[in-house]
Every structure is written in structure tokens, then in C-alpha cells.
């Protein structure tokens, strides 16, 4: 699939096979994104991978972060559907950066290879954490690039920021460098200053309370964050990781353009080259359409 075909496919609203790669325990956004991927009418969630992360406030290192994310994925899925059948895979226990640019072999990377090679249609792989597992799969078996499309929630806005490093890119910078150099259909969904507009006040999330088990859990995460910041009047929460599921679930919310892939230079800055391969880039997103569609999906299930 070419980038043009990928863009047309996204806009078509066709139900798509998706592998979600997520550092679910790092914060509270991934739980929202995972829930939407499972419930969306436009997404066939065929697997979920635990991505590594290293956040001293949440884990003791990349391996611990991945394993805690693995448990959190299973918890979220069981709250959505106690009988869920979606397979969940352990991801990388270290990073491509720590291995000096080499791929990290893992059950998650091998599963990406397996599912892509077995599929009779393109498989979308959405990364909402460090892109380690996804890039490792592409390095371990470059042939899979011909039957997969990558959507990555990572980086900062290309045009108005000098430093590309959001949390996801900073976790495995070399993985990001590889991703922009591999000729796989790619859509980048930047965090700051693009998906930062997907934010709500405390009362905006109260719609979730009391509807079903997963909504109660998601609201509890919001409530915890709200109270952590002493119930400040100007408190808002940004659901950064809604980017990829929104693009697939309600493509009308997304302003997507085709641009030359920038370079993530070794000094952690953008370098531009107009002759480089073309990628898709989320330039803007409509938060009202995102929340309206997400809440519709979340409220569609009854309490267990």
C-alpha cells in the first residue's frame, strides 16, 4: 500500500485490522485509547502489545514498565469484556537505543511479523508509546512493510518546535530514527502541538461515571489525576493517545497532509530534506468530533 492508498483507505471508513502497541501503565491516556480501539466499529483489534517505558514515577526501568503495561492491558480488556479473546503480547525489555541501533527481539515483535504475513489485507499498527516493538519487527523482517501501515502517536509538531522529543520519541530515539528511514506507509500523529487540543475539564469526563465497568475505571483515573492536582479550577486532562484511534474511527476529525519525512538528527533536533520519502502527517484534529465519537462507543456497553 502506498501512502496515497493509505490515506484513501483511512478516509474510506472501512473496518481495519489493527495491532495496538501501548505503554499502558505509564499514564492514563492509553487506557482510553485501548478502550476505543476495542469498541470502535471501524477497528478490528487483532492484538495488543505492551511497549517498554522508563518513568521513575511509575516503574523501575523499561522491563518493569513493559510488564506493568502488560498487566494493565489485561485489566482494561477484562473490564470492557470479561470474555475478551484479543491476544496480548509481552514487548521489548530494553530499547533499540540501548542496543546501539539493533532490533529488540520479543514476542510482540514476532507477533507483528506473524500477523502481517498471514493477513490477506493491510494490517495497521498503532504505536502510542515508544516505537521499539514496531521498528524491531520491521528490522527483523523488512518484507512486512509491504502489508502494513504504521500510525505513531509520537514527536512534537514538525513546523513550530525545534526539539522533536515528546515522551514517546525520547524513550527510544534510535527507534524513531529508524522509523523515518524505513519505507513503510507511515502516519505521524504529533503530541505537542497537535493532539494536545484533545483535552477536557473534570466535568467533561463525568459523563463516564456510572455507565459500565470500564467507564467507571476510566473515570477513576481522571478523578485520581484531578485530586492529585488539588482539584485546581483550571485543571484539564489531555487525552493525547486518542490520536490514532480517532484517525481510524472518525477520519473526518483529522486534517492529514503528505510531507517529506524529516530527519531526527543525533542532537535531538529536526533536519529537513525535501527529497526524502513522503509520509502522512496529522496537521490538526477536531476535539469535539473525537470526544463525541469516543463517548458514543464507551457508553454503548452495559454493566457486567
SS (H, E, C) 44-108: EEEEEEECCCCCCCCCCCHHHHHHHHHHHHHHHHHHHCCCCCCCEECCCCCCCCCCCCCCCCCHH
Say if 229 falls within a structural domain. Answer: yes
Say if 256 falls within a structural domain. Answer: yes
Domain limits at 251? 3-298
Say if 93 falls within a structural domain. Answer: yes
Say if 200 falls within a structural domain. Answer: yes
Which CATH number is 183's domain given? Answer: 3.90.245.10
- The C-alpha R_g of the chain, in whole angstroms, comes to 18
Residue with cell 469535539: 288
For the chain, what is the domain count? 1
Please calculate the CA angle 190-67-31 and round it to the nearest 5 degrees.
45
Contact (CB, 8 A) for 122 and 9:
yes
CB atoms within 10 A of CB 263: 16
Question: pLDDT tens-digit profile of 200-251?
Answer: 999 999 999 999 999 999 999 999 999 988 787 889 999 999 999 999 999 9
Say if 49 falls within a structural domain. Answer: yes
Say if 304 falls within a structural domain. Answer: no
Q: What is the mean pLDDT of each run of 10 residues along the chain (304 residues)?
A: 91 95 97 98 98 97 98 98 98 98 98 98 98 98 98 92 93 98 97 94 96 97 89 90 98 97 93 94 98 97 77
Say if 85 falls within a structural domain. Answer: yes
Strands of 278-285's sheet in order across: 88-89, 43-50, 16-22, 123-127, 148-153, 186-189, 278-285, 254-260
How far, in Å, CA of 207 to CA of 291, rounded? 11
Look at residue 304 in the predicted model and tell me its pLDDT: 63
pTM: 0.97
Look at residue 56 in the predicted model and tell me its pLDDT: 96
- Burial degree of 2 (CB within 10 A; 0-12, 13-18, 19+): exposed
Say if 90 falls within a structural domain. Answer: yes
How far, in Å, CA of 210 to CA of 216, rounded? 6
CA nearest to 54, candidates 16, 25, 84, 90: 25
Look at residue 230 in the predicted model and tell me its pLDDT: 75
Amino acid at each position: 500500500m502506498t501512502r496515497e492508498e493509505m490515506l484513501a483507505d483511512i478516509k474510506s471508513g472501512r473496518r481495519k485490522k489493527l495491532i495496538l502497541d501501548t505503554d499502558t501503565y505509564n499514564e492514563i491516556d492509553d487506557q482510553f485509547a485501548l478502550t476505543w480501539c476495542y469498541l470502535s466499529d471501524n477497528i478490528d483489534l487483532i492484538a495488543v502489545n505492551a511497549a517498554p517505558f522508563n518513568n521513575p514515577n511509575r516503574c523501575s526501568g523499561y522491563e518493569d514498565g513493559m510488564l506493568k503495561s502488560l498487566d494493565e492491558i489485561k485489566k482494561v480488556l477484562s473490564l470492557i469484556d470479561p470474555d475478551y479473546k484479543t491476544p496480548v503480547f509481552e514487548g521489548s525489555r530494553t530499547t533499540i537505543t540501548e542496543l546501539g541501533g539493533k532490533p529488540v527481539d520479543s514476542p510482540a515483535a514476532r507477533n507483528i511479523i506473524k500477523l502481517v504475513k498471514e493477513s490477506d489485507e493491510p494490517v495497521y499498527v498503532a504505536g502510542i508509546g515508544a516505537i521499539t516493538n514496531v521498528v524491531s519487527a520491521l528490522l527483523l523482517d523488512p518484507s512486512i512493510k509491504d502489508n502494513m501501515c504504521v500510525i505513531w502517536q509520537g514527536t512534537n509538531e514538525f513546523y513550530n518546535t525545534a526539539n522533536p522529543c515528546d515522551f514517546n520519541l525520547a524513550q527510544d530515539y534510535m527507534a524513531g530514527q529508524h522509523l523515518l528511514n524505513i519505507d513503510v506507509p507511515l502516519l505521524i500523529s504529533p503530541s505537542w502541538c497537535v493532539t494536545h487540543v484533545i483535552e477536557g475539564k473534570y466535568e467533561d469526563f463525568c459523563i463516564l461515571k456510572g455507565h459500565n465497568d470500564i467507564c467507571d475505571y476510566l473515570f477513576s483515573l481522571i478523578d485520581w489525576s484531578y485530586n492529585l492536582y488539588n482539584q485546581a479550577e483550571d485543571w484539564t486532562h489531555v487525552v493525547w493517545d486518542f490520536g490514532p484511534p480517532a484517525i481510524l474511527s472518525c477520519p473526518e476529525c483529522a486534517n492529514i497532509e503528505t510531507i517529506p519525512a524529516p530527519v531526527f538528527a543525533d542532537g535531538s533536533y529536526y533536519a529537513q530534506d525535501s527529497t526524502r520519502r513522503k509520509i502522512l502527517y496529522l496537521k490538526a484534529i477536531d476535539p469535539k468530533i473525537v470526544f463525541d465519537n469516543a463517548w458514543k462507543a464507551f457508553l454503548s456497553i452495559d454493566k457486567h
